[in-house]
Structure 1
Amino acid sequence: MPPASSCDTRALIEPTRVHSRLYYDQTIFEQELERIWYRSWVYVGHISEVPNRNDYVTKSIGPMPVLLIHDRTGQITLLRNKCPHRGNQLCAYREGNRSTFTCPYHAWTFSNTGELAGFAYADGYEGVDKSEFSLGRVPRVGIYRGFVFGSLATDGPSVDEYLGGAKASIDQLLDNSPEGELELTAGFLQHRTQANWKFMLENETDGYHPGFVHSSVFQVTDSGIGKLYGPQSTALTRDFGNGHTEFDLRPEWRRLGEPLAWFGATEDRLPGYVKAMETSYGAERARQIMIDGSPHIMIFPNLFIAEIQMFVLQPLAVNETIQHVTALQFKGAPDFNRRLRQQTMGSVGPAGFLLADDTEMYERNHRGALISDPEWLTLSRGLHRERHDENGYLIGHSTDEVPQRGIWRHYARLMTA
């Protein structure tokens, strides 16, 4: 992709406010692709999606299609989904098991490790070196506990350095599995939103909006969740650095001290899961895990883990984003997983309640960004009570804009490096 025309984003980002142009400007969007999506680490997929040798699944890095492959050598690799002959999309199927890929246009065939295996009508290519026509490869692949990240940059921080403190939240997530692993087997829904991707990035750890945007859902379901996002809540917002942010509900769950309260369940309703957890971790540790529950974290720029489900953001255009969402499934927990699927469908499925509320806000935000006055949007909530936790990360009240300020600080560093 050729470089976008220069745009100095430093003038559009201040410590407690950002300019509306950041959400709708085409030049800025093109710069984001260059400097964020095509340079830093981006979440691509999970190893449980390609469990067997020669399994593949189509994924993306930003708008760029890639193939996540468990190749014939047993390695997890990322290849660009583009035939080097005439640029045709090589693989159109969402998933499968293949040791080779054949381009539908002129039948060039490639190994799933990326090398050109053969031409159709090879006599027309006599003397041509096939090694010059391998598939494009994502140069760096990093895996943390099954989560696969890709970077189109040939060098830079390791995936461990990139994740930093956010690794602890991934660990917390996987503790909820009796076997310490995820199995993403429920399939993905795709929700297309007419809004800039950063509205979603900011919203996922925003504790200020749920009590208003989702109030009707909380009332209809007679849920106490709304109180977790109110003035009396002991929950926290957190900035891990590197753009990773968290809404930490553990203080509230620990105050209640009831296993599985975070899930709206009790131990007697999931006896198989409780037994498996106690067998794996011991009764005391299992009880603490089931009190703390699953995290609510946004890993920059595109992975959102929301207690019971997982979202992956894919920007297609400055004003268009796809949210790929699936129910979390924990290895060794069939009874728990069944309820996870049911709750995910109820909240973010095609007729779900929560995602419809949020999507309406994203699209209203984007339309509002185009209005010229006021041009600056404020992110100052809770600045006076922002502080560091015992690990040195910035935290604030559950309704404070600590995450949003952290996201924009990291964004500014990447865009102006």
Structure 2
Amino acid sequence: MNVMPRASQWEQLIRPDRVHGSLYSDPAIFEAELRNIWYRTWVYVGHESEVPNANDYVVKSIGPQSIIMTRDEQGKINLLLNRCSHRGNEVCSYPKGNARSFTCPFHAWTFANDGRLAGYAFPEGYEGQDRSELALGRVTRMESYRGFVFGCFAAEGPTLKEYLGGAAETIDRLVRTSPEGEVEVTAGFLKHRVKANWKFILENECDGYHPGFVHTSIFSVAESGIGKLYGGSSTALTRDYGNGHTEIDLRPEFRKRDAPMSWFGTTPERLPDYTQRMKAAYGEQAAREIMIDGTPHVMIFPNLFIAEIQMFVIQPLAVDDSVQHVTALQFKGAPDLNRRLRQQTMGSVGPAGFLLADDSEMYERCHRGVLTRDPEWVFLGRGEKRERRDELGFKVGHVTDEVPSRGIWQHYRSLMERS
């Protein structure tokens, strides 16, 4: 195709129950996505716990763009573009560290970790130059919710809380898993790169139709019983929060079991320290409810996926090239739980893990498939006739229904039509 659609043409490419294959494969559409989504909406960048001390930094991204997240000497978090304001060279070459400044390796321009231009080599050639005009670029807006740092290049628009909407409650639910009410992103990241469009990953994260088939091998080996959560008789739900945020809500199944820590495949007796700390923090009844419900399975549009025991960050590099950055969730004040979270993460998405390998194979097969000419459409109609509104007004359906994909694409269309 390779033709950039006009706003009026998005309706032709995105229908209520299907989308055109070119949306995954057209380079011109990918470039439009960078402008209208990645560089215009709120995007998850990093977590405050990744820069706990003054002068800490970590290199992150918004789409293909490299971002340095720093905590300066005053304790303020900054999102700086990893690009020298002189000739565009990357000023930071290390993934993380502690530094008061960054020096460009090309011409030795030096920038403070709050972005200010601190100095340049042979300054006599810059008489009268206002250094403030040559500071590192920065993400226009930055906000943090429960320690999760988001950035937005648009100067105007909704606040982060408005953007998160109902999905903010899932993050609230996540941090309550900690006896101290905080998540820590301290386990390090694995990177998985696939030759596939980023939206295949986005849709799959809250697709409850595939686990019973794609992940049969790992479910069988682990004897986890997870497959039943995604069966035809499951009471679990899919949910569309709006703004592209979606969820697989497994709580109805866990509440039927009425067994604390069943969501994690264990019992309170096997995590005595964690159980005691939770009861001390929340009271016996509230702690029991939290440990029954477990952590959320939510996709925060466009790139943050919280998957019960792990956290994934999607990074698009090209129309057919994407990276998933994944780390084990860690909960402040829960050392015994955290140890098992790290172990399970390595087993499922580590170098020898099966779970993400299964998904990655599906992403690449789907991407190759949408390159065919006929049929050109991807069908997303499962459960359309039985979706309903929950008590808060959000669309929900059976765990195997494609409520999330339809919600994602309707939000996507609204963003793309703004151009």
- Cα deviation for residue 111 of structure 1 reads 1.1
1:321 partner SS:
strand
1:211 aligns with 2:222: no
Paired residue type of 1:73? Q
Establish whether residue 62 from structure 1 lines up as the match of residue 63 from structure 2: yes
**What SS class does the counterpart of residue 331 from structure 2 fall into?**
coil
Q: CA deviation at 1:322?
A: 0.4
Give the Cα separation in 2 of the matches to 1:406 and 1:129: 48
Q: Distance in 2 between matches of 1:40 and 1:223?
A: 38
- TM-score between both structures, scaled by the size of structure 2: 0.98
Query: In structure 2, what is the equivalent of residue 359 of structure 1?
Result: 360
Aligned to 1:316: 317
The worse-fitting range, judged by mean Cα deviation, of 129-138 and 144-153 is: 129-138
Separation in 2, partners of 1:382, 1:140: 38
Aligned partners of 2:11, 2:26: CA distance in 1, in Å? 14
Aligned 8 A contact 2:197 2:320 in 1: yes
Equivalent AA in structure 1 for residue 80 of structure 2: L
Distance across 2 between alignment mates of 1:124 and 1:241: 54
Deviations 1:211-238 (A, max 9, x none): 0001111122222110110110000000
Displacement of 1:98 in angstroms is 1.1
2:40 partner letter: R
Unaligned runs of 5+ in 1: none
Residue 141 of structure 1: how far off its partner (Å): 0.2
Q: How big is each residue's C-alpha offset from its partner over 1:284-327, in whole Å with a ceiling of 9 and x where there is no partner?
A: 00000000000000000000000000000000000000000000
- Correspondences of 1:71-90 after superposition (within 5 Å): 71-90=72-91
SS in 1 for 2:59: strand
- 2: distance between equivalents of 1:208 and 1:356? 17
Deviations 1:322-345 (CA, angstroms, capped at 9, x unpaired): 000000000000000000000000
Letter in 2 for 1:249: L
Report the alpha carbon displacement of residue 6 of structure 1 after superposing the two structures with TM: 4.9
Name the structure 1 match of 2:274. 273
State the Cα distance separating 1:367 from its structure 2 match.
0.2
Give the aligned partner of residue 52 of structure 1.
53
CA distance in 2, matches of 1:40, 1:224: 38
What does residue 15 of structure 2 align with?
A: 14
1:109 maps to 110
Distance 1:5 1:373, change over 3 A: closer
Tell me which amino acid in the other structure corresponds to 1:51: P
Rounded to whole Å, the distance in 1 between the matches of 2:385 and 2:55 is: 54
Hey, what's the Cα distance between the residues in 2 that align with 1:119 and 1:53?
24
- Match for residue 26 of structure 2? 25
Tell me the residue number matched to 2:380.
Answer: 379
**Any idea what SS the aligned residue of 1:385 has?**
coil
> Which residue of structure 1 lines up, in the alignment, with residue 163 of structure 2?
162
- Work out the percentage of aligned pairs sharing the same amino acid: 66
2:145 counterpart of 1:144: yes
Which amino acid is 1:78 matched to? L
Q: CA deviation at 1:371?
A: 0.7
Aligned equivalent of 1:343: 344
Structure 1: distance between partners of 2:374 and 2:328 = 40
Equivalent position of 1:408 in the other structure: 409
Paired AA for residue 338 in structure 2: N
Query: What are structure 2's unaligned runs of at least 5 residues?
Result: none
1:72 is paired with a residue whose SS is coil
Find the aligned partners of 1:72 and 1:82 in 2 and give their Cα distance.
21
Matched ranges for 1:238-253 at <5 A: 238-253=239-254
> Residues 2-22 of structure 1: CA distance to partner in whole angstroms, max 9, x if unpaired?
xx9554333200000000000
Aligned-pair CA distance for 1:115: 1.1
Conservation of the 8 A alpha-carbon contact between 2:224 and 2:265: no
- Distance of 1:305 and 1:326 partners within structure 2: 10
Instruction: Provide the alpha-carbon RMSD of the alignment.
Output: 0.9
Between 1:328-337 and 1:94-103, the stretch displaced more is 94-103
2:264 is matched with which residue?
Answer: 263
CA separation in 1, counterparts of 2:66 and 2:381?
37
What SS is found at the alignment partner of 2:155? coil
1:49-101 C-alpha deviation (Å, 9 max, x unpaired): 00111111000000000111111222111010000111100101101111111
Once the two structures are superposed, what CA deviation does each residue of 1:360-411 show, in whole Å capped at 9, x if it has no partner? 0000000001011110111110111100000000000010000000000100
**2:393 corresponds to:** 392
Distance 1:93 1:284, change over 3 A: same
